[in-house]
Amino acid sequence: TLKPSNGYAALNDDFDNFYVRRLKMRLDDCFARPTIGVPGRFITLMDRKSDDFNRTYKFTGTYTQTLNVSSYNYLGFAQSEGPCADAVEECVRKYGLSSCSPRADSGTNDLAVEVEREVAQFVGKPAAMVFSMGFVTNAGSFPALVSKGCLILSDELNHASIRIGARMSGAVIRSFKHNNIDDLEAKLREAISQGQPRTHRPWKKILVAVEGLYSMEGTMVDLPGVLALKKKYKFFLYVDEAHSIGALGPKGRGVCDYFGIDPAEVDILMGTLTKSFGANGGYIAAEKHIIDKLRSTNAATLLGESPAPSVLMQILASLRIITGEIAPGQGEERLQRIAFNSRYLRLGLKRLGYIVYGHDDSPIIPIMLYHPAKISAFSHEMLKRKISVVVVGYPATPLISSRARFCVSSAHNKEDMDRVLAACDEVGDILQLKFSTGIAGGA
Ligand code: PMP
């Protein structure tokens, strides 16, 4: 390890521990595997050989094509052919690659204006604003919505971008137990007990922040439960739909669509354009006066580059396919396929005896590995069977709650799901991962 030379802590002292621990557990080669080409139904990995314990890899010059259940390509829009790719290719010729300017200067082109109009319409809000990065959408928007004297009640498993945005806002932050309506109510009661009940006092505002679909757990927000509390306690509600927009609901319009709830009941609908749309960036959709305020106060968009034109074109093309404006029927088919694949794989894994987390309709399907030693073993066994999966361990999860996550896509078919199940059947036996006796009627 690196030792401080001057009596002070070395700059990367804390990193050193993390890095050594990962090397000791031989976890390093499960992450950041270099790939080439499209992260679609298949993904091609560049084969590399590790120089043990030296954190260097040598490329062997060969490649392995694997079935890809590791990318957030929910609706299969990551492909490089078809109507999206044609529109994007034409757009690059017409607009070039970069807008070379923030929105407030000369970065507001017709595509940005159109994306905002269509995104607002799609999610059912009067207005929307696009950002060049999903992470920054959260990190930059909280400080524009709340400030000192406000309270943010945040689900304990909210994404880092929400937590960072919340911290930057200067508001007081309290977390409540994951998706636990009783605990949220207890925290609300506690928060307003010093003032008059059912008002925001003594807080300027109370903002509750949740996600539509949680990416480590596969849980779906209990939106009806949260909205019942909103009626009672009159807080503002922020829902991050990074993983639910496009992926949930009969029309792919996210959790409101899924639960049949009027989007007007949620104050802020945030989403990313990286996952279901195969593009980049994020959006906030809300009442016009909120969007106007965000536009004039959000430092990330006032001073940061606006989204690339080709990315905006990809968003427009994929959105229009989902709504049926382009290639009628294709959007519907994609939505049906992801719904089928999600349920089919989840049920199959349960039948095999895996402990599977999350909601039945979630396209993110986490299975429990528990022991950290099984992280790399699972990843490698799946890779031997030419399947790419994401594995997650400490510090992203508690130490003994290691897991693997399958990300299901409309690009997959039933045979692909059967291939994953057959591999999990074998690997589950090798690594003793079949914890339950399966469900009734199971194989
Ligand atoms: N919110 C959530 C819930 C996320 O999971 C992520 C990233 N996966 C983000 C925001 C950030 O989005 P992006 O990767 O598009 O920057």
Longest Cα–Cα distance in the chain: 69
Q: What's the CA-to-centroid distance between 272 and ligand 1, angstroms?
A: 6
- Does ligand 1 have an atom closer than 6 angstroms to the CB of 274? yes
Pick from 404, 401, 402: nearest CA to 424: 404
Strand pairing class (387-388; 56-68): parallel
- Nearest-atom index, ligand 1, CA of 214: 3
- Same domain (yes/no): 132, 211: yes
- Same domain (yes/no): 150, 32: no
**Interior CA angle at 104 toward 99 and 108, to 5°?**
45
- What is the DSSP secondary-structure string of 139-192? HHHHHHH--TT-EEEEETT--HHHHHHHHHHT-EEEEE-TT-HHHHHHHHHHHH
Cα distance between residue 89 and residue 86, in whole Å: 5
ipTM of the complex: 0.98
Q: What is the mean pLDDT of residues 292-305?
A: 91
Percent of the chain predicted with pLDDT > 70? 90
pLDDT at 59: 86
- Does ligand 1 have an atom closer than 6 angstroms to the CB of 215? yes
Q: Considering the domain boundaries, does residue 203 fall inside one?
A: yes
- Does ligand 1 have an atom closer than 6 angstroms to the CB of 242? yes
Q: What is the mean pLDDT of residues 44-55?
A: 76
Residue at which a domain ends, from 286, 305, 323: 323
Q: Considering the domain boundaries, does residue 73 fall inside one?
A: no
* Residue with CA closest to ligand 1 atom 11: 135
Q: How many helices (H) and strands (E) does the chain have?
A: 14, 14
- Same domain (yes/no): 34, 109: no
Q: Considering the domain boundaries, does residue 442 fall inside one?
A: no
Q: What's the CA-to-centroid distance between 244 and ligand 1, angstroms?
A: 11
- Does ligand 1 have an atom closer than 6 angstroms to the CB of 208? no
Q: Considering the domain boundaries, does residue 240 fall inside one?
A: yes
Q: Which residue type is seen at 6? A: N
Q: Within 10 A of 95 (CB to CB), how many other CB atoms are there? A: 17
Q: What's the CA-to-centroid distance between 240 and ligand 1, angstroms?
A: 9
Percent of the chain predicted with pLDDT > 90? 79
- Same domain (yes/no): 319, 340: no
- Same domain (yes/no): 218, 288: yes
Pick from 433, 299, 300: nearest CA to 367: 433
* Residue with CA closest to ligand 1 atom 15: 134
Distance, CA of 184 to chain centre: 23
- Same domain (yes/no): 19, 61: yes
- Same domain (yes/no): 129, 273: yes
Q: Tens digit of pLDDT for each residue in 205-214?
A: 999 999 999 9
CB 32 within 8 A of CB 388: no
* Residue with CA closest to ligand 1 atom 13: 134
- Same domain (yes/no): 136, 247: yes
Residues in Cβ contact with 189 at an 8 Å cutoff, skipping those fewer than 6 apart: none
- Nearest-atom index, ligand 1, CA of 282: 15
- Does ligand 1 have an atom closer than 6 angstroms to the CB of 135? yes
- Does ligand 1 have an atom closer than 6 angstroms to the CB of 219? no
Helix extents (H) in 254-305:
255-259, 288-297, 299-302
- Does ligand 1 have an atom closer than 6 angstroms to the CB of 158? no
Is residue 54 pLDDT above 90, yes or no? no
**What Rg, from alpha-carbon coordinates, does the chain have?**
23
List b or e across 228-250, with b for residues whose CB sees 16 or more CB atoms inside 10 angstroms: ebbeebebbbbbbbbbbbbbbbe
- Same domain (yes/no): 64, 87: no
* Residue with CA closest to ligand 1 atom 1: 242
Q: What's the CA-to-centroid distance between 218 and ligand 1, angstroms?
A: 14
- Domain residues for the domain of 347 are 13-68+332-430
Q: Write the CATH number for 105.
A: 3.40.640.10
Counting Cβ atoms within 10 Å, is residue 23 exposed (0-12), middle (13-18) or buried (19+)? Answer: middle
432 Rama sector, left if φ>0, alpha if ψ -120 to 50, beta otherwise? left
Q: Considering the domain boundaries, does residue 271 fall inside one?
A: yes
Q: Considering the domain boundaries, does residue 185 fall inside one?
A: yes
Q: Tens digit of pLDDT for each residue in 249-284?
A: 999 999 999 999 999 999 999 999 999 999 999 999
Q: Tens digit of pLDDT for each residue in 82-117?
A: 999 999 999 999 999 999 999 989 999 999 999 999
Q: Tens digit of pLDDT for each residue in 167-211?
A: 999 999 999 999 999 999 999 999 987 655 555 678 999 999 999
Q: Considering the domain boundaries, does residue 76 fall inside one?
A: no
**pTM, full prediction:** 0.93
Distances (CA, A) of 356 to 194, 247, 401: 42, 19, 12
Q: Considering the domain boundaries, does residue 4 fall inside one?
A: no
- Same domain (yes/no): 172, 310: yes
- Looking at the 3D structure of the chain, how many domains does it have? 2
- Same domain (yes/no): 173, 275: yes
Q: Which of 137, 159, 215 to mutate to test the pocket of ligand 1 (most atoms within 8 A of CB)?
A: 159
Strand pairing class (206-211; 236-240): parallel
Q: What's the CA-to-centroid distance between 145 and ligand 1, angstroms?
A: 19
Q: Write the CATH number for 50.
A: 3.90.1150.10
